[in-house]
Structure 1
Amino acid sequence: DTFLEQSPFAISENVDKNNPPQGIYYSGVGTELLHALDQGEVSTQHFDLYVVNTSRYVPRLSLRNGLKEGVGDFAVINLADDQSCTFSYSFVNPESGELYKLSQNYTVWFVDIDAGQDGSLTESIQVCGALQYSLSDDVYGVKSSIKVMALDGPGCYEFTATEFGTGDNNPTLASEIFLPLEQMDERTQNDVLPHLVALTYPAGSSGFDIRYSISAAKFPGTSGRNFLFTSYTQASKSTIVPCFPLPPPFPPSLPAQAPVAALPTDCEQLRQINALITDVFLDFTESRLVYNNLGGLGPFVNDTFLEQSPFAISENV
């Protein structure tokens, strides 16, 4: 309720508490470091993230929406089997409640893209407007399990799971995947990396749309899966040893390139990681989940946010 009453987002959206919006609001999740080239100074701009379904949303368990296990550094959207849903991810200026345009490219990582037994519960995601994508082949030299298909439209792709996976192969912390390969444990290398995709979006955007899909379970309507997403944090960037940069890579091939015969050297691999890192960070451990009502299904609505948030007021909610 406090969010609905006080949040600039809710205020700017003119939110009606009797008909609260359908979405998840992560407060304080984003940071962009802005460089003044003529003066060599760096300023900091914080931003929030609002995720809302733009088509009919059917979860298996909406209580899982928000943050992984309620506290983790992965954001989560739960979806029932035999369902598809499109979501809009919007960056928000927390002071004005208006959309915030990033001044540089940014990368969002989607992990744990896998399937159930015999092709059931197969996860896929569709995007458009991506500047590029990167699989485990490209970043780590580890064979990816994800099938990639180019779709009509600029930067449009579909990524589909091809290998079985359960909750046992979920990463525990985002920091586990932002390391040189030789510093990762065997489980991360074998069970986590092959199931991820990193999507890079161009500067000047205030968000992106994505469509999540899950094929039917053996008994349709009885199961579901979680879609996990994260990004770099300032802390994870500080753990990466820089290498001399290489020229920007050409767009990745379709499908992903075959794994290299030998693992890349430290510096070669770090160049691949560094190529995806800009001064845009999403840190879900530092964020506050102030509103969680995706699809109007809860688990909680914050009336104060709807009444006082600049975002809600600007949106005339």
Structure 2
Amino acid sequence: AFDFEGSTETVNNLGGIAGGSGLICSQTPGVGGPSTACGEGCGCTNPEVVAPPGTPQELRFSNVGQVFNGTSEAFSAFDFVIKNTSAYTPWESDKNGRFGSSGVFAGVSVAADTDTSFSITFTEPGSDIPFAVTEDFVLCFYDMDAGVNNGVVNTLTETLTVCNFQNYIHQGRTSIPGDPNPPAATQQLLNSMCDNIDVTPYLGITEFTSNGQNCLDAVGLVSGKGSDNPDRLESPVFTNTADCGLYDICPADGVSGGDRGNIGVDEIICSAGSTVPASGEYPLTAVEVGLRGNPYRWTMPKFICLQYPAGSTGIDFQYKVSPSNDGRYGRNFLIGGTSAGQCITTPNPPPPQPPPSPPPSPPPSPPP
């Protein structure tokens, strides 16, 4: 399983740029300024304190991965290391690292008008020795957004490109075509998806082949902002799929969504309690306070999960953010495991041993 919440962020120096909450930013949050230290959105004043000279150029989470063999033996822990393999420019690197109130995601800031290749490597704790995961596993990318349409294209659009995966999962995809028996980790996630959630207006997915590998592009299609980011693994899914219908139930006031400020109006007017596609809202009692009263459609259709085979020591991917209207700003992408438990069953016990053979009969007594 991947557990960022229980991990330790041991190195935050992606691309040789100090990152994380320990930075002191000198520029206006969300607006930026002239300094490019730690990205225009930050302008940090203490990078050498956070990442002294000689710090590895990586973002490392220790003990994020745990592999159990289904016996009483202790688990095998491994590190999760993100590196850029092409030029990397953040918008505000103080957002790099554990993301969310409980740190359940790994977050990386990427500046507008950049196209960056990254690698994720699993390693033995505190080293660069690759660690091969012994079971199929799933990694998810959350909060795929676009920006405001400037009349020609959507600005600040996020595009994820990945290859060499086995399957992919998102809301609305409750089975894998041609694979009736996917691995347990994938099946558990499929069981959490809602077949009534249509992601096509929110997430553009294009499959293709490159160098003999299966690949895909996942493109954010709808504007988003920080207030609709998930803060918990459970936020983009219903805890119980019996609740999937809530995604389409008009709220009590008959208004779903509304004016989103600089990204425009996204509003559905409907009859309270009626069934209207994508009109449902997070309840005012939702665990994640920031999503209370938000339409589910602002969060739930905007993630994609990828299944990789046992024996993998990591993955490669590419993340692109299109230009903004003024050449500034950026996006954060979020990586996490899943809200579905990924368990390895207890091995079958060895077959019982046959009962011991009876002792040989004593030889007959000699004749008198």
Do the two structures share a fold, i.e. TM-score over 0.5? yes
The counterpart of 2:57, out of the listed 10, 14, 22, is 22
Is 1:156 the equivalent of 2:191? no
**Aligned match of 1:228:** 334
Letter in 2 for 1:225: R
- The number of aligned residues is 220
**Aligned match of 2:322:** 215
Contact in 2 for aligned 1:128/1:156 (Cα 8 Å): yes
CA-CA distance at 1:152 after TM superposition? 2.4
Distance 1:208 1:93, change over 3 A: same
CA-CA distance at 1:177 after TM superposition? 3.5
Is 1:61 the equivalent of 2:115? no
Higher relative contact order structure (alpha carbons within 8 Å, sequence separation ≥ 6): 1
Q: Distance in 1 between matches of 2:73 and 2:234?
A: 25
Give the match's secondary structure for 2:69.
Answer: strand
Q: Distance in 1 between matches of 2:343 and 2:214?
A: 19
Contact in 1 for aligned 2:138/2:306 (Cα 8 Å): yes
Give the match's secondary structure for 2:89.
Answer: coil
Letter in 2 for 1:148: I
Give the TM-score of the pair, scaled to structure 2.
Answer: 0.55
Is 1:167 the equivalent of 2:234? no
Contact in 1 for aligned 2:235/2:300 (Cα 8 Å): no
Task: Compare the two structures and name the one with the higher helix fraction.
Answer: 1
Q: Distance in 2 between matches of 1:176 and 1:279?
A: 25
CA-CA distance at 1:20 after TM superposition? 3.3
Provide Cα deviations, 1:52-93, integer angstroms capped at 9, x if missing partner: 000000111111100115752111000000011111101111
CA-CA distance at 1:137 after TM superposition? 1.3
Contact in 2 for aligned 1:171/1:188 (Cα 8 Å): no
Q: Distance in 2 between matches of 1:127 and 1:155?
A: 9
Contact in 2 for aligned 1:108/1:200 (Cα 8 Å): yes
Give the match's secondary structure for 1:193.
Answer: coil
Distance 1:33 1:188, change over 3 A: farther
Distance 1:42 1:191, change over 3 A: farther
**Aligned match of 2:194:** 140
Provide Cα deviations, 1:111-165, integer angstroms capped at 9, x if missing partner: 1001111000000100011111112111222111211112323221110011111
Structure 1 stretches of 5 or more lacking a match? 5-16, 238-276, 281-317
Give the ranges of 4+ consecutive aligned residues of structure 1 lying more than 3 Å apart after TM superposition: 17-20, 40-43, 277-280
Q: Which has the larger radius of gyration?
A: 2
Give the TM-score of the pair, scaled to structure 1.
Answer: 0.64
Q: Distance in 1 between matches of 2:321 and 2:86?
A: 15
Provide Cα deviations, 1:239-292, integer angstroms capped at 9, x if missing partner: xxxxxxxxxxxxxxxxxxxxxxxxxxxxxxxxxxxxxx4549xxxxxxxxxxxx
Distance 1:188 1:218, change over 3 A: same
The counterpart of 1:49, out of the listed 73, 76, 80, is 80
Contact in 2 for aligned 1:104/1:202 (Cα 8 Å): yes
The 5 Å alignment of 1:97-246 reads 97-118=128-149, 119-138=154-173, 139-141=193-195, 142-144=197-199, 145-153=202-210, 154-177=213-236, 179-181=239-241, 182=243, 186=282, 187=294, 189-220=296-327, 222-232=328-338, 237=341
Contact in 2 for aligned 1:116/1:164 (Cα 8 Å): yes
Give the match's secondary structure for 2:296.
Answer: helix
- Cα-Cα RMSD: 2.4
Provide Cα deviations, 1:195-241, integer angstroms capped at 9, x if missing partner: 01011111111000111100000111x100100111136xx52xxxx
Give the match's secondary structure for 1:47.
Answer: strand
Q: Percent identity?
A: 26
Q: Distance in 2 between matches of 1:69 and 1:95?
A: 24
Contact in 1 for aligned 2:101/2:231 (Cα 8 Å): no
Contact in 2 for aligned 1:106/1:278 (Cα 8 Å): no
Distance 1:175 1:102, change over 3 A: same
The 5 Å alignment of 1:268-307 reads 277-279=342-344
Structure 2 stretches of 5 or more lacking a match? 1-9, 12-51, 174-192, 247-280, 283-293, 346-368
Distance 1:42 1:90, change over 3 A: same
Distance 1:108 1:279, change over 3 A: farther
Letter in 2 for 1:167: G
Give the match's secondary structure for 1:79.
Answer: strand
Contact in 2 for aligned 1:106/1:200 (Cα 8 Å): yes
CA-CA distance at 1:21 after TM superposition? 2.5
Letter in 1 for 2:216: Y
Contact in 2 for aligned 1:102/1:204 (Cα 8 Å): yes
